[in-house]
Amino acid sequence: MHEQTRSPARRAGLYGLLSVAAFVMLFPFLWTVVTSLTAGGNLGDGPTLWIKNPTLDAYRTLLSALPMWRVTVNSFAVAVVSTLAQLVTGAMAAYAFSRLQFRGKGLVFGVYLATLMVPLQVLVVPLFIEMKTFSLQDTYFALLAPSFASAFGIFLVKQAIDGVPRELDEAATIDGGSHLRIFATIILPLVRPALATLAIFAFMGSWNSFLWPLVVIRSPEFMTLPLGLSTLHGQYTTQWNVVMAGSVFSIIPIAVLYLVAQRHIITGLAHTGLK
């Protein structure tokens, strides 16, 4: 009886703790929206959720100061192409590492995993020199090239393929199935949660990418959304409500994508054993 009377209190305490944690995580986003709707929003006033003189002037200024349609389309196109490329290269490489036998497979896969420890800042200079050597800087290809393949994506999908019973491959081989047929008709349908997880991470990474576009892009027509928003910062003064309005534009697609696909993210990570 004592445990039954104490259980609702524990549950209430747990829900209260989770509510506080959720509010702490959501507060920066709420503050961003409030600042974007506040006339002359100033970050020096401190964090607040109270909208003073709500107005859409910041959004009007944003649309007049930046070619929002162009930079948004650029970001979306680059993110979609980059995501598709990582799905194709990641799935094919993962199948090779998981199912094919070749000399030095363990060493090559170890080298791939080692690249995960190399930050982008270290690679920016050699990548830029490579693009400049082939006269590819300030192009869409320059934006896309470094993201055509992902070591994390290969590892993620390989873990999922390793969980597929090899007996299915053997049965298909006995029926005369080639590696391409086994890959397309057996492996890919069974690792869809992992592919969905990779697609979401790849899209988010490309959408939020700032450093590489900043280095390789000079022409306004090739600017992505993060790079365009950086131009809103003035040398001496900054209209923070306009900057926050741009941040809202940038956050909304990612938030919608995550809310729609969160089930696939959880399932994919659970199937691959990642935490």
Residues 250 and 170 in one domain: yes
* One domain, residues 31 and 87: no
Q: Which of 55, 79, 99 is the C-terminal boundary of a domain?
A: 55
Residue 273 confidence (pLDDT) above 80: no
Per-residue pLDDT at 211 exceeds 50:
yes
The tally of domains found in the chain comes to 2
Query: Rounded to two decimals, what is the model's pTM?
Result: 0.81
pLDDT of res. 44? 58
**In the predicted structure, residue 88 carries a pLDDT above the cut 90:** yes
7 and 96 in a common domain:
no
* 21 and 42 housed in the same domain: yes
Q: Mind listing the pLDDT tens digit for each residue in 156-202?
A: 999 999 988 888 888 888 888 788 888 988 899 989 888 988 998 89
Checking if the pLDDT of 146 tops 60, the result is: yes
Q: What is the mean pLDDT of residues 213-217?
A: 91
Domain enclosing residue 110, as ranges: 67-272
Give every CB contact of residue 272 below 8 A, 6+ residues apart in sequence: 156, 157, 159, 160, 163, 194, 197
Residues 47 and 105 in one domain: no
Phi/psi of residue 54, nearest 5 degrees? -60, 135
pLDDT surpasses 50 at 2? no
- Let me know whether 133 and 211 are in one domain: yes
Final residue before a domain boundary, out of 32, 55, 78: 55
44 and 99 fall within a common domain: no
Percent of the chain with pLDDT over 70: 88
Q: Which residues pair with 54 in a beta bridge?
A: 38
CA dihedral 137, 120, 253, 79 (to 10 degrees): 40
Report the share of the chain in percent with pLDDT over 90. 20
Using the predicted structure, report yes or no on whether residue 210 has a pLDDT greater than 50. Answer: yes
Among candidate residues 239, 246, 247, 250, the one with its CA nearest the CA of residue 39: 239
pLDDT in tens, 227-241: 888 888 764 467 778
Tokens 């999922």 correspond to what residue? 160
Q: Is residue 146, in this structure, part of any structural domain at all?
A: yes
Task: For residues 76 and 36, state if they share a domain.
Answer: no
Whole-angstrom distance, CA of residue 172 vs CA of residue 186: 9
93 within some domain: yes
Residue 162 maps to which CATH number? 1.10.3720.10
Average pLDDT value for the chain: 84
HSE-CB for 104 with a 13 A CA cutoff: 3
For residue 130, count CB atoms less than 10 angstroms from its CB and return exposed for 0-12, middle for 13-18, buried for 19 or more: middle
- Tell me, yes or no, whether 62 lies in a domain: no
Shared domain for 104 and 235, answered yes or no, is yes
Give pLDDT tens digits for 101-117: 888 888 999 998 898 88
pLDDT band at 12 (very low <50, low <70, confident <90, very high): confident
61 found inside a domain: no
The answer to whether position 60 is within a domain reads no
